[in-house]
A and B are shown apart, each in its own frame.
Chain A
Amino acid sequence: MILDLERFLRLERPLWRELEAQLERLERDPHRALGVDEVRRFHYLYQRASSDLAQVQSFSSEPELRRYLEGLVSRSYGETHETRRLPDRFSPRRYLAETFPRTFRRHLRAFALAAAVTLAGTVFGGLAVALDADAKPALIPFSHLEGDPSRRVAEEESASEDRLSGRKASFSSMLMTHNTRVAVFCLALGLTWGTGTLILLFYNGVILGAVAVDYIAAGQTPFLLGWLLPHGAIEIPAFVLAGQAGLVLASALIGWGGWGGWGTSSAQAGSRGARDIPTRRVAGGRRDEPSVGQSSAAGGSAPLNPEALGVAARLRAAGPDLVVLIAGVGLMLIWAGLVEAFLSQYHEPVLPYALKIAFGAVELVGLTFYLAFVGREKREP
């Protein structure tokens, strides 16, 4: 109990101010490295403030002081007990050359599932249009694709004017923003335990399959490939990657895949996925217990086992990978938007189909190589 509040405040307030100033500095620059003396001082001030809070909690007249100290202790607690690795300063070169492709490869099974569902949708859409003539208007919700493919091709190839003249940039920006919104939605639907993500992927596949079979059946395969491949070689994989991110989120939510995530071995999960899970050092130096008090995500003091993590800890581990994946998807969709507006919409005789198809094929091979091999570490499987 504090008998002399005035004296207590006179003695302690300068220390609180000092702690507050240190916190301000740390929060302003989270990458700032503290010297040993600074760490010792910070830890002393944190413990002193904690002790003051314990005293003030028994003192009835100072709820505001208690709140102030709670704020100070909670901020210091965050700084002191945070053991998740601080993300490195963002480097576009490192992101593109290492982080993004490695993150993609870490969740290969989620990607495989997303690709398989998209493919299943494509087969379904293709078969539906091939076997049932009435299916086309029901499956393809775009008015410009409802007509006869041969007629459209004839119109496009005989056009004497550039129908996108004066609006290529705005068309491109519309494509980029719309597609990115859809991709983010596909990721966010992972919150429906992945059901929404799978439905969206399947539906995308259905439209793709229906359009493809419609054009192939009309004998317009070169036009189809020349039209879709230049932007589709990037755009379609981008949607599958967004689906991959959604499924990673779903797997964290459900607890499948031996966390860190689908496609991650337990060993990898232990070395990487668990890296981002907050733990605290206990007396014996064992690093084994989630730091949260009563809202403990991993449940109790069992040794850290990625497969036995609670949902909150799994989501915490998945978060950085989701951001990496969706940022990569955004970049891919920017490229696809530019290509679609400035290249894909131009057909023979303006641009030979062979050239457009070759361009798309090069993109696809390049993307495959990039995702499969760039930034590969020796220990990756």
Chain B
Amino acid sequence: MRHEILTLRTPEGIEFTLPLAGPVSRMLAWAIDVACVGAAGAALGGIAGGLQLVSADLATAAVTVAYFVLQMGYGMVCEWAWRGQTLGKRVLRLRVVDAQGLRLKPSQVVIRNLLRAVDALPAFYLVGGAAMVLSRHAQRLGDFAAGTVVVRVPRPREPDLDAVLPGKYNSLRALPHLAARLRRRVTPDEAWLALRALLRRDELDPAARVSFFRELAAHLRSQVQYPPEVVETLTDEQYVRNVVDVIFRTER
């Protein structure tokens, strides 16, 4: 079964995760790379036009060799120079990394690019695509042989809290020990889900909005029991909003 993340554990007992790139984003990155190689090939053709003045034979030979080197070397040079990224991977925020979390070696970069010859079979990377879908870590055959994986490198971004937390009085903050317990018990994924739900609440159908926030609030209420007098006047959505305020706004 395919995993969406690769989890590694250091000898110090610290776990870290690498979000694996899926076939679609990798295909898009590949398409950009193909376009780049094509554009560079066209530029080579232009330069060869100048060489034709000296010798048509030499110009043809130079273009043939240069285009071959470009095709074979583009991925290797870019991934080595930019630590696992080609232009396409930079645009899609992907990166080739060692599957064991170690330093990426030049031989790994070369092998994964050379073995594209088989991954690209019979056309449009069907073999490589199938291998990625079937592989646990979304590896094409070249990645498997080289011991590499392609991970996503998401752009860090700050949540727009002012859009959802207008700075009203928050009764949950009145009890600091329960607020601290709330921060500890709510998992990062739950907190992020609650924040996203608030950011996108206006996109929801009214009935679905009520139902969704009821479920979310019930779950959050089960994490920390507040005295009834603190929370009884809060609607479900207001409760979720106050929880998000407690979790994300720590500097009041």
Within 8 A of B (CB), among A276-312: 278, 280, 282, 291-295, 297, 312
Q: Which of A53, A87, A280, A322 contacts B16 (CB 8 A)?
A: A53
B115, closest chain A residue (CB): A188
A interface list, Cβ under 8 A from B: 1, 3-6, 27, 30, 47, 50-51, 53-54, 57-64, 66-68, 70-71, 73-74, 77-79, 81-82, 84, 87, 166-170, 172-174, 176-177, 180-181, 184-185, 187-189, 191-192, 196, 249, 253, 278, 280, 282, 291-295, 297, 312, 315-316, 319-320, 322-323, 326
Is B235 part of the contact surface with A, judged by Cβ < 8 Å?
A: no
Q: Are B247 and A64 in contact (CB under 8 A)?
A: no
Q: A169-B58, A278-B102 are in contact. Are A77 and B8 (CB under 8 A)?
A: yes
Q: Give the most central of B97, B102, B117: most A CB within 10 Å.
A: B102
Q: Are A63 and B192 in contact (CB under 8 A)?
A: yes
Q: Are B61 and A294 in contact (CB under 8 A)?
A: no
Within 8 A of A (CB), among B62-110: 62, 64-65, 68, 72, 83, 97-108, 110
B112, closest chain A residue (CB): A319
Q: Are B183 and A1 in contact (CB under 8 A)?
A: yes
Residues of A within 8 A of B57 (CB): 166-170
Residues of B within 8 A of A196 (CB): 118
Q: Are B117 and A188 in contact (CB under 8 A)?
A: yes
Is B154 part of the contact surface with A, judged by Cβ < 8 Å?
A: yes
Q: Are A177 and B147 in contact (CB under 8 A)?
A: no
Q: Mark each residue of chain B from 34 to 75: 1 if its CB lies under 8 Å from any CB of chain A, else 0.
A: 000000000000000000000111101110110010001000
Q: Are B250 and A5 in contact (CB under 8 A)?
A: yes
Residues of A within 8 A of B8 (CB): 74, 77, 292-295
Residues of B within 8 A of A87 (CB): 105-107
Q: A77-B101, A293-B9, A294-B9 are in contact. Are A58 and B107 (CB under 8 A)?
A: no
Q: Are A77 and B16 in contact (CB under 8 A)?
A: yes
Q: Which of B12, B97, B145, B247 contacts A60 (CB 8 A)?
A: B247
Known contacts A71-B153, A322-B107; 7 additional CB pairs below 8 A are A1-B184, A73-B16, A188-B117, A294-B8, A315-B145, A320-B105, A326-B114
Is B227 part of the contact surface with A, judged by Cβ < 8 Å?
A: no
Q: Are A173 and B247 in contact (CB under 8 A)?
A: no
Q: Which of B18, B117, B191 contacts A61 (CB 8 A)?
A: B191
Residues of B within 8 A of A180 (CB): 68, 72
Residues of B within 8 A of A74 (CB): 8, 16, 18, 97, 101
Q: Are B10 and A81 in contact (CB under 8 A)?
A: yes
B interface list, Cβ under 8 A from A: 6-12, 14-18, 55-58, 60-62, 64-65, 68, 72, 83, 97-108, 110-111, 114-118, 137, 141, 144-147, 153-154, 156-158, 180, 183-184, 186-192, 247-248, 250-251
Q: Which of B11, B98, B154, B157 contacts A280 (CB 8 A)?
A: B11
Q: Are A82 and B118 in contact (CB under 8 A)?
A: no
Q: How far is the CA of A46 from the CA of B57 in the complex (A)?
A: 57
Q: Which of B60, B111, B192 contacts A323 (CB 8 A)?
A: B111
Q: How far is the CA of A373 from the CA of B156 in the complex (A)?
A: 56
Q: Are A60 and B146 in contact (CB under 8 A)?
A: no
User: Would you give 13 A-B contacts (Cβ < 8 Å), ordered by A?
Assistant: A54-B14, A57-B188, A60-B190, A61-B247, A64-B158, A81-B102, A167-B60, A278-B100, A292-B8, A294-B7, A315-B144, A315-B145, A323-B110
Q: Give the most central of B99, B100, B191: most A CB within 10 Å.
A: B100
Q: A188-B115, A192-B118, A292-B8 are in contact. Are A60 and B191 (CB under 8 A)?
A: yes
A54, closest chain B residue (CB): B14
Q: How far is the CA of A166 from the CA of B52 in the complex (A)?
A: 12
Residues of A within 8 A of B157 (CB): 64
Q: Are A170 and B103 in contact (CB under 8 A)?
A: no
Q: Which of A30, A81, A172, A323 contacts B61 (CB 8 A)?
A: A172
Q: Are A191 and B118 in contact (CB under 8 A)?
A: yes
A334, closest chain B residue (CB): B65
Q: Are A84 and B16 in contact (CB under 8 A)?
A: no
Q: Which 6 A-B pairs have the closest CB atoms?
A: A293-B9, A169-B61, A170-B60, A173-B61, A188-B117, A60-B191
Residues of A within 8 A of B192 (CB): 63
Residues of B within 8 A of A62 (CB): 188
Q: How far is the CA of A57 from the CA of B183 in the complex (A)?
A: 12
Q: Return B61 CB to nearest CB of chain A, in Å.
A: 4
Residues of B within 8 A of A1 (CB): 180, 183-184
Q: Are A295 and B58 in contact (CB under 8 A)?
A: no
Q: How far is the CA of A278 from the CA of B147 in the complex (A)?
A: 11
B180, closest chain A residue (CB): A3
Q: Which of A51, A54, A70, A249 contacts B145 (CB 8 A)?
A: A249
Q: A166-B56, A294-B7 are in contact. Are A50 and B12 (CB under 8 A)?
A: yes
Q: How far is the CA of A78 from the CA of B110 in the complex (A)?
A: 19
Q: Are A189 and B9 in contact (CB under 8 A)?
A: no
Q: A50-B14, A54-B14, A169-B57 are in contact. Are A322 and B186 (CB under 8 A)?
A: no
Residues of A within 8 A of B250 (CB): 4-6, 61
B187, closest chain A residue (CB): A60
Q: Are B101 and A78 in contact (CB under 8 A)?
A: yes
Q: Give the most central of A3, A87, A188, A278: most B CB within 10 Å.
A: A188
Residues of B within 8 A of A58 (CB): 184
Q: How far is the CA of A63 from the CA of B206 in the complex (A)?
A: 29
Q: Are A312 and B99 in contact (CB under 8 A)?
A: yes
Q: How far is the CA of A2 from the CA of B104 in the complex (A)?
A: 34
B250, closest chain A residue (CB): A5
Q: Return B181 CB to nearest CB of chain A, in Å.
A: 9
